[in-house]
Amino acid sequence: MIACLRPLSALCFAGLLAACASSPSSSLGELPRTPQASIEQLLQQASSSEPEEAALLRLSAADLAYRQQDVARSIRILDTVPLAGLKPAQQIYASTLRAELDMTRNKPKSALKALQHPSLQYLAELPVEQQIRTQLVSAGALEADGQTLAAARERVFIAPLLSGEAAKANHETIWALVASLPKSQLNGSGDSDLDGWLGLALATKSAGTPDQQLAAIDTWKNQHPQHPAAQQLPEPLTKLKELAGQPLQKIALLLPQEGQLASVSRALRDGFLAAHYQAQQAGQNPPEVLLYDSSRMSSLDDFYRQAQADGVQLVVGPLEKPLVKQLSERPQLPLTTLALNYSDAGREAPAQLFQFGLAAEDEAREVARRAWADGMRSAVALVPRGDWGNRVLAAFQQSWQEAGGSLIAAEHVDQPVELAQQIADLLQLRQSEARAKRLQSTLGTQLASLPSRRQDIDFIFLAATPQQAQQIKPTLAFQYAGDLPVYATSHLYTGGHNPTQFQDLEGIRFCETPWLLDANDNLRQQVDQQWPQAASSLGRLYAMGADAFRLAPRLSQLKALPDSRVEGLSGNLSLNQAQRIERQLPWAEFRGGQVQRLPDSTY
């Protein structure tokens, strides 16, 4: 962000508008003019012009190449313009173009660095068009860099300078940015316009059902009648009224009460009903819940007929993967259904089917997001041998490489006896030892140097059981890689408090459900009192059950409003295009024998 422009008083802003309407002062220099010639003509003319005029012509040529989407040529031309020899207005122009080119190559940090040039302190003295161009690329770079709140602040600041479609697009983008922030970042900022946006986002997140959200929005509008969002509600919020029609009155909960999944089913059911009871206590008039046993069900068709006869409007379940696969293969379903598992990826499911589960792939993608936001760029991976490990690794690799990261190597761990050798192979320690031996042989003397690991690794992605993880971290220290950051999925954490076990996991960062990281949550405390096992890793299932209840009345909202999220106990929940619920998770770190929650990161 261009810090020198924050904050501005109303009086200063009036002066800014006047300054924007004028040309730069002679001391700042001229801006390149809109070219009436081709790139070749501009460059040819530059070759026979005085240095200052030549620089302007080359800037025009570089900009024209950028507008023609010839990024490589634009960069080549811009590289021929000596930034230090330009006047401030031209330096701002060149820095802005450099940032735009960086953004086309997915390099937001480089773009932000370009916009830190000292000349940017004079931006407010340039024409409005240049201010808009510079600050829009700044906002885009901040957003791409994971600095969501700063990006929103930038767009709020520039909003009064925009008109027409640009103003509308900026308005909607501000809402998308603040709506994606966690509650912990929706506090007052000191900027009244931005605080209004943050308050609106907090109001919608704090309300439960769509009806409650509408009431919260009306209350906010009455409190902020002059705010831009009150005068023109963001489009996703206007759509809420369309979704708050007939309330959901009866839900079927379809779970197996017998068989291998019975214990999993009980935790899901108890979490679901606990959330239902909590809603009753809060006076929300929740829908009636009818229980059906999928382990005694003769067929899915018979179940749906019975559910329809019972007046059911929505089905939560089934849990069994074969049944979910059957549903996904049908052209349509009699009732909207929130399955509590996933069918095979890539299959187009019927429009009435939504899918929700504790997918390990979500956590692998979460690791990629967090590590990238933390500045990591190259990774190696340790995952279990077998299909589960393959799926987790594939999800991490795809997400990591889409962000721009590099996956250097991966190992599939299985037997503890092989672990030390696998980690040595991963870090190329054997090559280091071999180099040391060759050098000793050449010199004919004993060397005191220790083997060293490869230095092009920023972090390790780890998906492992608690037992595997307890062996892996000490082995890394033994293999001269104890300083290498480790980002892990939740599978290494059993819940509860175990300082002895946690010592072996010291320094590992891992994503986890809000349920297990927030023992003070009211619903968790109620559930813990009745079912103490909910404080262990089994708690993730209670959280999923509670979230299934919270998702049920909001499926249409999530489908109609792609940027909508439900802050649940199993994660921050959103719906992807395949109508699968995806989770973003908070983070924690093993530190001093304790689990310490890390600050939220937006990305």
pLDDT tens, residue by residue, 120-179:
999 999 999 999 999 999 999 999 988 999 999 999 999 999 999 999 999 999 999 998
469 and 493 in contact (C-beta within 8 Å)? no
Dihedral pair phi/psi, residue 411, rounded to 5°: -130, 140
pLDDT tens, residue by residue, 470-489:
888 888 877 667 788 999 99
In 3D, which of 24, 77, 83, 91 has the Cα closest to residue 46? 77
Start-to-end CA distance of the chain, whole Å, equals 16
pLDDT tens, residue by residue, 87-121:
999 999 999 999 999 999 989 999 999 999 999 99
Partner residues linked to 412 by β-bridges: 383
Calculated CA dihedral for residues 425, 429, 435, 437, nearest 10 degrees: -100
Q: How confident is the model at residue 425 (pLDDT cuts 50, 70, 90)?
A: confident
pLDDT tens, residue by residue, 283-319:
888 999 999 999 999 999 999 999 999 999 999 999 9
360-512+587-597, CATH topology level: Rossmann fold (3.40.50)
The DSSP annotation for 348-361 comes to ---TTEEE----HH
Residue 381: pLDDT over 50: yes
Residue 438: pLDDT over 80: no
Query: 75-79, 190-194, 452-456, 579-583: which range is least confident on average?
Result: 452-456
- Can you give the pLDDT at residue 418? 64
pLDDT tens, residue by residue, 258-288:
999 999 999 999 999 999 999 999 888 899 9
- Can you give the pLDDT at residue 480? 63
Q: How confident is the model at residue 23 (pLDDT cuts 50, 70, 90)?
A: low
Query: 223-227, 448-452, 556-560, 577-581: which range is least confident on average?
Result: 448-452
Angle between helices 51-67 and 39-46 (to 10 degrees): 170
551 and 543 in contact (C-beta within 8 Å)? no
Number of Cβ atoms within 10 Å of the Cβ of 164:
7
Which residues does 183 contact at the CB level (< 8 Å), separation at least 6?
Answer: 202, 205, 206, 567
Tell me if the pTM is above 0.75: no
Q: How confident is the model at residue 184 (pLDDT cuts 50, 70, 90)?
A: confident
Written as one letter, the residue type at 135 is Q
250-355+526-573, CATH topology level: Rossmann fold (3.40.50)
Report the helix count and the strand count for the chain, using DSSP H and E.
Answer: 27, 15
Query: 3-12, 148-157, 311-320, 552-561: which range is least confident on average?
Result: 3-12
- Can you give the pLDDT at residue 560? 74
Strand order, beta sheet including 459-462: 406-413, 378-384, 459-462, 486-488, 509-511, 587-591, 594-597
Secondary structure (3-state) at 287: coil
In 3D, which of 364, 459, 457, 371 has the Cα closest to residue 146? 371
Say yes or no: do domains 3-146 and 250-355+526-573 share a fold.
Answer: no
Cα–chain center distance at 243 = 26
440 and 411 in contact (C-beta within 8 Å)? no
Number of Cβ atoms within 10 Å of the Cβ of 308:
13
Q: What would you report as the CA-atom Rg of the chain, rounded to the nearest whole angstrom?
A: 29
Residue 431: pLDDT over 60: no
How far apart CA 395 and CA 372 sit, in angstroms, is: 15
Secondary structure (3-state) at 423: helix
Q: Is the model more confident about 496 or about 221?
A: 221
Q: What is the mean pLDDT of the chain?
A: 86
CA distances for 67 relative to 334, 406, 441, angstroms: 51, 30, 60
Number of Cβ atoms within 10 Å of the Cβ of 32:
21
CA distances for 422 relative to 410, 428, 452, angstroms: 10, 10, 16
89 and 122 in contact (C-beta within 8 Å)? yes
- Can you give the pLDDT at residue 420? 65
Domain 3-146, CATH class in plain words? mainly alpha
Quote helix, strand, coil % in the chain, to nearest 5: 55, 10, 35
How far apart CA 480 and CA 93 sit, in angstroms, is: 48
- Can you give the pLDDT at residue 416? 56
- Can you give the pLDDT at residue 370? 94
- Highest mean pLDDT among 11-25, 235-249, 525-539 belongs to 525-539
Q: What residues does each domain of the chain span?
A: 3-146, 250-355+526-573, 360-512+587-597
Q: Which DSSP state fits 122?
A: G
Dihedral pair phi/psi, residue 363, rounded to 5°: -70, -35
- Can you give the pLDDT at residue 234? 92
